[in-house]
């Protein structure tokens, strides 16, 4: 349980430990009360003595109640502090991994591990962890009553502790295996939900459910076996504690008969032993939760925060983009998707990227945005490696419209504002720049129209235009567009052309994947991606109206060693 002494939790743990000390000292008083009642009140028949002793025990129990509440609140607050400290950076890390090649199956379980730790800190199981260390106090009190009673109590505690160690050894592997099976079944069910349309379209539901059932049955079988072992050990612990208390009572009675102890000592020792052994019994019964909490902390501690190295703060960029010899996607079995790709754009320049399906166009965009990391090479924005920027700071200067636009549940304004505080003027300015303002005003509630989960209330074209406004929110200096007119009608196409013209006037750098000649003719450069090689050409504006494929001049402006291309078109 060393994770409880994490620097974030240490103040609350120390507070809970101090409260536990006072609580357990207060819990000694009822046993002493029993001793005094048997040994002083009964012989003297003094009601005044009984009243005074009763007042003292009530005060002690009141203190114990206060300490119990204080301990529970401290631990519950520790859980909230732990969650607040771990969840945001962890979610940042998971989001970063979800976009790149570092994604692992455990990423989806990370936040659940935080919830598991928070729940454990607020549960009754953790209270046994804080009560168990005060066992020596009770053993010492029993030993002071009579040495033989103290030795018997110590032997009983050792026996129960040995049972706890046995529980840990017998259940640890099964508990961890059950956790793994549970995560595997949950991931598979999530995969089925993500591919629901494919499953329904090809009649795969029966096979999918059968495959999930195999995993779920393995989980149930593991949990059943673990439950059987845990139930037996818990029952053994409960019976062992009762037997030890009965044995202590019998030993005390033997001492009373032999005139070596008083009846009060007999009763008090039995009460104290029950109180001393109770936390150990609770630990044995709740050992599964302890193992799960320890496993959750181990998994969280093993993760490296991807944002930890992104500590550099830089001034706002002008938009000068340099891509230097990017290599990405190569393995021992296949060639790299990108092989030494290079390009440069000055502030206000625009470039269209073309290539066959699967050529790596979207991969290049993700590398330019810093979403993925190249195997070699560098992407620079105003001379600075884009991977070294703080992601939140970089995001204010970059706009991105992915090929498949998915909005978040909320209003149109909230989506355009990138889920941050809605600045009405900036939202309307972004919509006007994207030439989507009139379209948004025609919605039922204008900018306050809820878009629904994933934006399903809007049509594909409307989502794409709102997504473009989101990309242009805050006047970014670099805008990356992946097939921005895939779902647009004629009105949307005209709005996109007008937006590109205004971005040019504003000095915004634009990188766009597209294959429509009319739109590509509006750009300054065109880049052809083929067989992992990127060739960049400067547009010949006079040739644009008669192009039937992708426009390109005769002389490349990047990769000067590349063979010349015909001026009328580039074959892809």
Domain 2-304 has CATH 3.40.50.980: no
Q: What is the mean pLDDT of residues 374-384?
A: 86
pLDDT score, position 58: 94
Give the three-class secondary structure for 324.
strand
CB of 90 within 8 A of CB of 111? yes
Q: What is the mean pLDDT of residues 530-538?
A: 80
% of the chain exceeding 70 in pLDDT: 86
Whole-prediction pTM value? 0.62
Q: How far apart are CA 439 and CA 443, in angstroms?
A: 7
Q: What is the mean pLDDT of residues 402-408?
A: 85
Give the three-class secondary structure for 257.
helix
Q: How far apart are CA 513 and CA 520, in angstroms?
A: 9
Q: What is the pLDDT of residues 486-497, one digit of tens each?
A: 888 888 888 888
- Cβ neighbours around 224 below 10 Å, total: 10
Q: Which residues pair with 401 in a beta bridge?
A: 481
Q: What is the pLDDT of residues 447-489, one digit of tens each?
A: 999 988 877 888 888 888 999 999 999 889 999 998 888 888 8
Q: How far apart are CA 293 and CA 297, in angstroms?
A: 6
Q: What is the mean pLDDT of residues 19-35?
A: 89
Nearest to 107 by CA among 95, 118, 116: 95
Range with the poorest average pLDDT among 105-114, 143-152, 198-207, 252-261: 105-114
**Lookup result for tokens 């009572």:** 249
pLDDT at 543 over 80: no
pLDDT score, position 371: 80
Q: What is the pLDDT of residues 225-236, one digit of tens each?
A: 878 887 888 888
| 566 band by pLDDT with thresholds 50, 70 and 90 | very low
- Spans of all domains in the chain: 2-304, 321-546
Between the alpha carbon of residue 372 and those of residues 184, 306, 351, 478, 571, the distances in Å are: 27, 12, 20, 17, 29
| 240 band by pLDDT with thresholds 50, 70 and 90 | confident
CATH fold label, 321-546: Rossmann fold (3.40.50)
């Amino acid at each position: 349980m060393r994770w409880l002494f994490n620097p974030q939790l240490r103040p609350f743990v120390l507070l809970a430990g101090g409260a536990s000390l006072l609580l357990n000292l207060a819990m000694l008083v009822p046993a002493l009360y029993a001793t005094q009642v048997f040994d002083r009140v009964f012989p003297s028949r003094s009601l005044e003595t009984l009243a005074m002793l009763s007042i003292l025990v009530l005060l002690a129990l009141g203190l114990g109640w206060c300490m119990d509440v204080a301990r529970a609140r401290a631990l519950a607050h520790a859980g909230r502090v732990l969650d607040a400290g771990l969840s945001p950076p962890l979610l940042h890390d998971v989001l970063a991994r979800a976009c790149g090649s570092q994604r692992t199956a455990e990423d989806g379980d990370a936040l659940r591990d935080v919830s598991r730790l928070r729940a454990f800190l607020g549960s009754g199981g953790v209270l046994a962890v804080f009560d168990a260390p005060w066992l020596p106090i009770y053993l010492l009190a029993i030993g002071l009553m009579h040495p033989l009673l103290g030795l018997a109590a110590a032997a009983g505690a050792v026996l129960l502790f040995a049972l706890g160690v046995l529980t840990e050894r017998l259940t640890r592997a099964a508990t961890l295996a059950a956790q793994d099976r549970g995560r595997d079944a949950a991931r598979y069910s999530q995969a089925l939900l993500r591919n629901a349309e494919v499953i329904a379209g090809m009649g795969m539901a029966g096979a999918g459910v059968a495959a999930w059932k195999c995993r779920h049955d393995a989980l149930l079988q593991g949990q059943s076996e673990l439950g059987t072992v845990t139930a037996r050990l818990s029952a053994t612990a409960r019976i062992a504690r009762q037997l030890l208390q009965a044995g202590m009572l019998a030993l005390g009675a033997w001492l009373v008969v032999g005139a070596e102890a008083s009846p009060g000592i007999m009763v008090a020792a039995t009460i104290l032993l029950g109180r001393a052994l109770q936390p150990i019994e609770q630990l044995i019964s709740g050992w599964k939760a302890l193992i799960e909490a320890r496993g959750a902390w181990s998994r969280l501690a093993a993760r490296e925060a991807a944002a930890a190295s992104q500590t550099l703060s830089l001034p706002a960029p002008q938009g000068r983009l340099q891509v230097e010899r990017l290599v990405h996607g190569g393995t021992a079995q296949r060639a790299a998707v990108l092989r030494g790709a290079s390009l440069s754009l000055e502030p206000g320049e625009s470039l269209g990227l073309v290539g066959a399906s699967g050529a790596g166009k979207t991969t290049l965009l993700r590398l330019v945005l810093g979403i993925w990391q190249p195997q070699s090479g560098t992407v620079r924005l105003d001379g600075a490696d884009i991977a070294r920027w703080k992601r939140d700071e970089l995001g204010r200067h970059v706009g991105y419209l992915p090929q498949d636009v998915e909005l978040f549940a909320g209003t149109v304004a909230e989506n355009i504002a990138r889920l941050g505080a809605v600045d009405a003027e900036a939202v309307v300015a972004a919509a006007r720049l994207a030439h989507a303002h009139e379209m948004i005003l025609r919605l039922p509630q204008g900018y306050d129209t809820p878009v629904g989960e994933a934006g399903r209330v809007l049509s594909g074209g409307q989502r794409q235009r709102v997504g473009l406004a989101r990309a242009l929110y805050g006047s970014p200096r670099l805008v990356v567009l992946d097939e921005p007119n895939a779902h647009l009608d004629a009105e949307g196409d005209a709005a996109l052309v007008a937006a590109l013209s205004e971005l040019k006037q504003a000095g915004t750098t634009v990188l766009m994947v597209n294959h429509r000649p009319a739109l590509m003719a509006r750009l300054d450069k065109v880049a052809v991606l083929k067989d992992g090689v990127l060739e960049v050409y400067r547009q010949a504006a006079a040739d644009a109206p008669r192009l039937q494929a992708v426009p390109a001049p005769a002389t490349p402006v990047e990769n000067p060693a590349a063979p010349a291309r015909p001026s009328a078109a580039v074959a892809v």
